[in-house]
Every structure is written in structure tokens, then in C-alpha cells.
């Protein structure tokens, strides 16, 4: 593997440093899901923690290396901002989070509850965050997808998946690329023949296009439905890692994500956010090879639109329990 600035020993260290509340998340094979997908699938659920997403692993490992009193500054569509807020509060740091004006109200509220100072901005939140961080020496601009420690923290998911035994294919949602790079690093070192497949959306295909091109490609987002994997311009470091570690990349439609969210609720009893269901969506609509496949439900922070509310209520109606 070339162009890899991630280290296996750091992933192993992260498993000892990260707050245990994020570690050893449930992973299992569900017979109902297997039947619906027509194959054996190992599912790892990263929604059962205080952040309801996997982002706490990387943010906490990164924060563990900072001096007390440091201000962590980031730009985010939501889940990473929650992770930065949580890690900063735990480790005696401060958090300044810059978000787009159209951010999910659920994610905005949760970031504030976790103690972050949240700044909503028009235009690119990343530019505003970078300028703010440069104004004082005690501010550190934290870019999800760029920092090795964030990928290495997320790589603990790969460490845990490897403990389940042989896996021939792993299908993962891809936003900034931190998750898939860290997981792939560990799994390819311990299960050499494993195939790593990334999943993006047709409405925000920047990372897929960048992976194919071998360099960052800027693509305007069509919408924010899957905000967790809807980026505009990938980080160069992330693209280099993915070119070395990711074997294939597929795209799904927003309707595929909606169907996958419902599939997760009906079979696993887990209602993921759109981005969190991307792996399930890809396994449903793409002929991804593999007899023993694994995927991760990466998040469950969503604002449910009106058309979903009726279905949610129907799901808990009295006759649904008999």
C-alpha cells in the first residue's frame, strides 16, 4: 500500500484510549435481514452511544493528543460536530463548531447540548472555521478526513469487525473518508483478501469522482438528504488513502436510502439516518460480490420529514404488536 500515513499501532492504541462508551458496539447477523438481502451479512450498529454515530471514536482519539485548554474548531454537517463537542468537554477543551445554515435541527440541538459554541454561517462553513482558528494560537482547526488520528480512531471499528472471523467484503458509507480508510487499514493487514467497497450518493458524488480521478474533485451537492455523506470537496489526504485502500465505489439514490432506512427498522429494530443506511442500500441495489459481507450502521441522527411520521406512528400502532 502506498500513500498511507496511517499506522496500525495507532489503531491498537486508540482502542485503549477512546472512551469505552464508543467501543465494542453490537455486531451480529440478523436472520430477517439475511433473508431480505439473500446473503449472510454481519451488521455493526454504531448508533447506541451518546452521539448516536461512530464519529466519537476518531474525535476522542484526536482530542486525547491535545493540550488542556485548547479550542477545537471544526466545520460539520452535524455528527462530527457532536463528536468534537463531546470529546472537548470530556478532556478539558473547548469546542467551536461552524455549521451550514440549513443544518438538521436535531444535530444542531445536540451539538449545543453537548457544550459546543455553534456558529451557523452562509456559504462554506469550512472557510469560516479555518479563518477563525487562525486568529489565535490556542485554536486547532480539526478537519474530519484530513487528520490521521481521526481515521485511526475510526479504525477501531475494523479491529472489532476482524474479531468476528473471516469477512470477504466490507461495504461502508463514505463522506469524508475517515471511516473507510481506518477500517480498511486494519482489515487489509489482518484479512488480506478482504474487499473494501465505499458507498456514496448520486446527489453528492464528490468522493466517488475523486476516488476515480485520484485527486479531489469538487461537485455541487444536489441536496442535503444524506448530510453525513454529502461533501463538496474531499481532502487530498483522504483521497490518497482511499486510492490505496478502497477496492470499489458505488452510488445509491435517495430513494434507495429511504428503503434501506425502513429495511433497518423492520429487520434490525434500528432506524438509521439516511447516510447511516448507505451500506444497506448498496447491498440491496448493487450486485456486490461476497459470501460473508459486513456493513456498519453509522448514525441515527435524523430529522424525520412529514411523510415519514405516518409510517413511524403506524409502526407502533397497537395491532403491530400482535
Residue 316 has pLDDT above 60, yes or no: no
Strand 169-173 with 139-141, pairing: unpaired
Q: What is the predicted pLDDT for the residue at 235?
A: 95
Beta bridge partners of 97: 74, 118
Residue 321 has pLDDT above 60, yes or no: no
Q: What is the predicted pLDDT for the residue at 34?
A: 97
pLDDT per residue over 65-108, tens digit each?
A: 999 999 999 998 778 999 999 999 999 999 999 998 888 787 78
Sign of the dihedral defined by the CA atoms of residues 143, 145, 149, 153, in that order: positive
Distance CA 93, CA 115 (A): 10
Q: What is the predicted pLDDT for the residue at 308?
A: 54
pLDDT per residue over 201-228, tens digit each?
A: 999 999 999 999 999 999 987 677 888 8
25 and 160 in contact (C-beta within 8 Å)?
A: yes
Mean pLDDT, range 39-50, rounded to an integer: 96
Q: Kindly report which listed range (99-108, 194-203, 312-321) carries the lowest average pLDDT score.
A: 312-321
Band (135; pLDDT cuts 50, 70, 90)? very high
Q: What is the predicted pLDDT for the residue at 195?
A: 98
Q: What is the predicted pLDDT for the residue at 322?
A: 39
pLDDT per residue over 272-295, tens digit each?
A: 999 999 999 999 999 999 999 999
**Which residue do the cell numbers 444542531 mark?**
108
**Is this prediction's pTM over 0.85?**
yes
Share of the chain above pLDDT 90, in %: 82
Distances (CA, A) of 299 to 78, 166, 273, 287, 319: 11, 25, 6, 24, 29
Closest residue by Cα to residue 279 from 163, 197, 206, 204: 197
Amino acid at each position: 500500500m502506498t500513500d498511507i500515513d496511517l499506522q496500525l499501532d495507532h489503531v491498537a492504541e486508540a482502542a485503549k484510549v477512546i472512551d469505552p462508551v464508543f467501543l465494542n458496539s453490537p455486531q451480529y447477523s440478523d436472520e430477517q435481514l439475511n433473508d431480505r438481502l439473500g446473503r449472510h451479512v454481519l451488521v455493526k450498529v454504531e448508533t447506541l452511544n451518546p452521539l448516536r454515530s461512530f464519529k466519537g471514536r476518531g474525535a476522542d482519539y484526536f482530542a486525547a493528543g491535545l493540550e488542556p485548554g485548547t479550542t477545537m474548531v471544526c466545520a460539520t454537517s452535524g455528527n462530527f460536530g457532536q463528536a468534537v463537542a463531546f470529546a472537548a468537554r470530556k478532556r478539558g477543551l473547548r469546542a467551536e463548531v461552524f455549521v451550514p445554515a440549513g443544518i438538521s435541527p436535531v444535530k444542531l440541538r445536540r451539538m449545543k447540548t453537548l457544550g459546543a459554541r455553534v456558529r451557523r454561517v452562509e456559504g462554506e462553513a469550512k472557510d469560516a472555521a479555518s479563518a477563525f482558528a487562525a486568529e489565535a494560537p490556542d485554536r486547532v482547526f480539526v478537519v474530519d478526513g484530513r487528520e490521521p488520528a481521526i481515521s485511526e480512531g475510526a479504525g477501531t471499528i475494523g479491529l472489532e469487525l476482524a474479531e468476528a472471523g473471516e469477512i470477504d467484503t466490507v461495504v461502508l458509507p463514505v463522506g469524508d473518508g475517515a471511516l473507510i480508510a481506518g477500517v480498511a487499514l486494519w482489515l487489509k493487514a489482518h484479512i488480506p483478501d478482504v474487499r473494501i467497497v465505499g458507498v456514496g450518493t448520486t446527489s453528492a458524488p464528490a468522493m466517488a469522482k475523486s476516488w476515480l480521478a485520484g485527486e479531489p474533485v469538487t461537485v455541487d451537492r444536489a441536496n442535503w438528504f444524506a448530510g453525513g455523506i454529502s461533501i463538496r470537496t474531499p481532502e487530498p489526504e483522504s483521497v490518497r488513502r482511499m486510492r490505496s485502500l478502497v477496492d470499489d465505489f458505488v452510488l445509491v439514490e435517495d430513494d434507495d436510502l429511504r428503503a434501506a432506512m425502513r429495511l433497518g427498522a423492520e429487520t434490525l429494530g434500528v432506524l438509521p439516518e439516511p447516510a447511516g443506511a448507505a451500506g444497506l442500500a448498496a447491498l440491496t441495489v448493487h450486485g456486490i460480490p461476497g459470501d460473508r459481507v459486513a456493513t456498519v450502521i453509522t448514525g441515527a441522527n435524523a430529522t424525520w420529514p412529514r411523510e415519514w411520521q405516518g409510517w413511524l406512528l403506524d409502526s407502533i400502532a397497537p395491532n403491530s404488536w400482535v
